[in-house]
Amino acid sequence: MNRRLRRALLCLFACAPVLAGAADNGAAARLNRQLRIAEQRYGTVGQSVEIARDGKPLFQATRGVRDLDSAKPIEDDDVFQVFSIAKLFASTLVMQLAENGRIDLDRPASDYLSDLPPVWKAISVRQFLNHTSGVAEYYSPAQMNGTARFPASLQAALDYAAAQPMQFASGSRSRYTQTNYVVLLHLLETQYGRPYPQIVRERILARLGLRHTYLGRVDPPARAAVPAYLGKDGRAQPMPAVAWPDYALGHSSLYMSRGDLSAFLRAVAAGKLVSKSALLKFWRPMTLPDGERGEFLTGWESGDSGRYRNVGHDGGTVVRARILFGASLDRDVYTVVYLTNGSAHNVWSRTLVDDLLGALSPRRFPAQALSERVAGFALTAQDATRTEAFAAALRADRSLDDAQRERALDNTAAALRESRGLEAALRVFALNTRLYTRSAKGWQRLADALQANGDADAAQAARQRQNALSDTQD
């Protein structure tokens, strides 16, 4: 029996999603379908999902296999490498220090770390948390691919990064940089006088009873972690391992089961690690000097999902954790855990979560539901008649205003360009100009995509439309 057939048979009997809690049958059917779509559209190897509302699970599911060689189905308690979700532990621990008055996030980190490189003396703790510090990375591509060693110690890593040019003036912009979380790990170890893994065990794992969470390079003793895959040429291939040093545990080398990660998110949302009132302050939206919205709020990636705000983090492109809430954390709070071990097309984890939210409740999450519809349209063969019919259906859908719909289409095109290529994205850019013929930005995005696709004449025509509209609007 070939491997593909064996995998299909195994999934038929062992990979079906399981309904839990109070999700209605219609929502369950939509969620189940969405997991199948993710597997078919993006080539996800394995998926493990939990959605909870107000601390109670609504939906739990597994689908696919833990590795391509054995084709063994994913199980509920499988342990995944969750990559940069490790940062949520570090940021939560720093929030605890701030809530207890032990540190002030807006004071320079050097006030608490006497050995911080002098060139970073004025950078605040909050700027390290929010990736607005401007510091350089502490490693090189050669260290990532294993052809060179990482700096031998935490201090050596900081000294190496400090010797590089700053990326920008601290506080002026945002750029995701792992060095920030090496500094925060150092801050936590200095404040508590204990190694970082011990701090995590005492202040998070033991408090919450998390028994399937591991820090470090050693595989979990109870069961080896699910292997991770990276898409290349439309195929899932084993992801190269990075031998991160121990001082990198604040930003990497974290392994968790779905149940443990969900329990952590639900505990955070319930105020069990940091009070709800403090969280609302820590997660208050901020604007950068250039007018752009701050992407990170006290270390938690932020955004909007329909009428909800969301905070959380991704782990590479393969996993995501998210908390969604409205004006308060007292009711109508969702937590979402979406674990995969990779995909053939390196689909963004945020795309998978957004598609799932749109399936859960198209009314609550209309932009996410629209994005899924548009992606399905873009990935199937179209002619002029079908395209116009689809555009007409979108015009008739009043769940979003024009600005929201145009933004959703742009986001969908960007995600498709990364995962499925330029041709699919072009269909969405063209659809946008069909819907919004007087949007100069829409024509600009189409022109840029056509140029990237090598269609110079069409790109020039789109650029002329853009320029004409810009002149009129000026």
For the cut 50, the answer to whether the pLDDT of residue 332 exceeds it is yes
Domains in the chain, number: 2
* 38-84 confidence digits (pLDDT tens): 999 999 999 999 999 999 999 999 999 999 999 999 999 999 999 99
Query: 56-64 and 235-238: which strand pairing?
Result: unpaired
Q: How many CB atoms lie within 10 A of CB 275?
A: 14
- pLDDT for the residue 217: 66
**pTM of the predicted model, to two decimals?**
0.92
* 454-466 confidence digits (pLDDT tens): 999 999 999 999 9
Average pLDDT over every residue of 198-224: 85
Domain-embedded: residue 256:
yes
CATH number where 378 lies: 1.25.40.10
Binned at pLDDT 50, 70 and 90, residue 445 comes out as very high
- pLDDT for the residue 473: 66
- CA angle, 306 as apex, 301 and 308 as ends, to 5°? 55
C-alpha–C-alpha distance, residues 324 and 431, integer Å: 30
- pLDDT for the residue 381: 83
Cite the DSSP H helix spans in 305-383. 349-360, 366-378
Residues 301 and 370 in one domain: no
Report the share of the chain in percent with pLDDT over 70: 93
For the cut 80, the answer to whether the pLDDT of residue 249 exceeds it is yes
Q: How many CB atoms lie within 10 A of CB 410?
A: 17
Q: State how far Cα 433 lies from the chain centre.
A: 29
C-alpha–C-alpha distance, residues 51 and 336, integer Å: 5
- CA angle, 128 as apex, 240 and 86 as ends, to 5°? 40
Q: Where are the extended beta strands (E) located within 202-305?
A: 213-215, 229-232, 235-238, 254-257, 296-297, 300-305
- pLDDT for the residue 24: 81
Task: Report the largest interatomic distance among the alpha carbons of the chain, rounded to a whole angstrom.
Answer: 68
What's the half-sphere exposure (Cβ side, CA atoms, 13 Å) at 36? 11
Binned at pLDDT 50, 70 and 90, residue 216 comes out as confident
C-alpha–C-alpha distance, residues 268 and 276, integer Å: 8
For the cut 80, the answer to whether the pLDDT of residue 222 exceeds it is no
Residues 263 and 171 in one domain: yes
Residues 308 and 373 in one domain: no
C-alpha–C-alpha distance, residues 356 and 30, integer Å: 9
Domain hosting residue 459, numbered range: 365-473
Domain-embedded: residue 40:
no
Average pLDDT over every residue of 213-238: 83
Q: How many CB atoms lie within 10 A of CB 384?
A: 7
Domain-embedded: residue 328:
yes
- CA angle, 316 as apex, 315 and 317 as ends, to 5°? 105
Task: Tell me which of 318, 350, 382 is where a domain ends.
Answer: 350
Binned at pLDDT 50, 70 and 90, residue 219 comes out as low
* 6-26 confidence digits (pLDDT tens): 444 344 334 444 444 456 889
DSSP class of residue 288?
-
Burial, 167: exposed, middle or buried (Cβ in 10 Å; 0-12, 13-18, 19+)? Answer: middle
Residue 324 host element (H or E):
strand 319-325
* 26-50 confidence digits (pLDDT tens): 999 999 999 999 999 999 999 999 9
Residues 169 and 300 in one domain: yes
Share the mean pLDDT of the chain: 93
Task: Tell me which of 299, 321, 350 is where a domain ends.
Answer: 350
Residues 167 and 198 in one domain: yes
DSSP class of residue 118?
G
Domain-embedded: residue 394:
yes
Average pLDDT over every residue of 312-340: 97
Task: Please indicate whether residue 153 or residue 470 has the higher confidence score (pLDDT).
Answer: 153
C-alpha–C-alpha distance, residues 192 and 322, integer Å: 28
CATH number where 185 lies: 3.40.710.10
For the cut 60, the answer to whether the pLDDT of residue 309 exceeds it is yes
* 151-205 confidence digits (pLDDT tens): 999 999 999 999 999 999 999 999 999 999 999 999 999 999 999 999 999 999 9
Task: Tell me which of 327, 350, 373 is where a domain ends.
Answer: 350
- pLDDT for the residue 384: 86
